[in-house]
Copies of this chain bind each other. A is one copy, B any other.
């Protein structure tokens, strides 16, 4: 209404989806800045793949893709990049030779600690303005929505606290 206060954007801010998309945009930019000097720079897929393989050595590309919301071609590109960077290795699984078992290289193992530290630091800094209660509430709501809209991503909280709701 008041032109001096800038444009009327209530049409957009009234939509939760808009608020969350803009928030995600800000998160992505903060992370790109944080990881710009690493081999996992630019894009969310590389870092999360490293963290995931570190916690689950031997997992396949398709499994990782199901967790991260990427299809097979997308995973090929991510793994290609990490393999070229010398952080990750793919070897045919002897028991199921269609699969490629993913593991970190010694260098990948050495770097992962540094990446984790950067990720945790920036995650903490980004949400530092929230109270502990707000952070818990946000995590709970996000988990609830993902359980409905991404049912294919299994094990959403099986590995954490067995919380239900």
Interface residues of A, dominant DSSP: helix
Contact B48 A12 (CB under 8 A): yes
Contact B145 A127 (CB under 8 A): yes
A13 within 8 A of B: yes
Q: How many residues on chain A are close to B (CB under 8 Å)?
A: 71
How far does the alpha carbon of A67 sit from the alpha carbon of B12 in the complex, in Å?
A: 10
How far does the alpha carbon of A52 sit from the alpha carbon of B15 in the complex, in Å?
A: 13
Contact A16 B149 (CB under 8 A): no
How far does the alpha carbon of A8 sit from the alpha carbon of B59 in the complex, in Å?
A: 10
A20 within 8 A of B: yes
The contact sample of 6 A-B pairs, CB cut-off 8 A, is: A10-B55, A13-B157, A17-B27, A17-B127, A26-B150, A129-B144
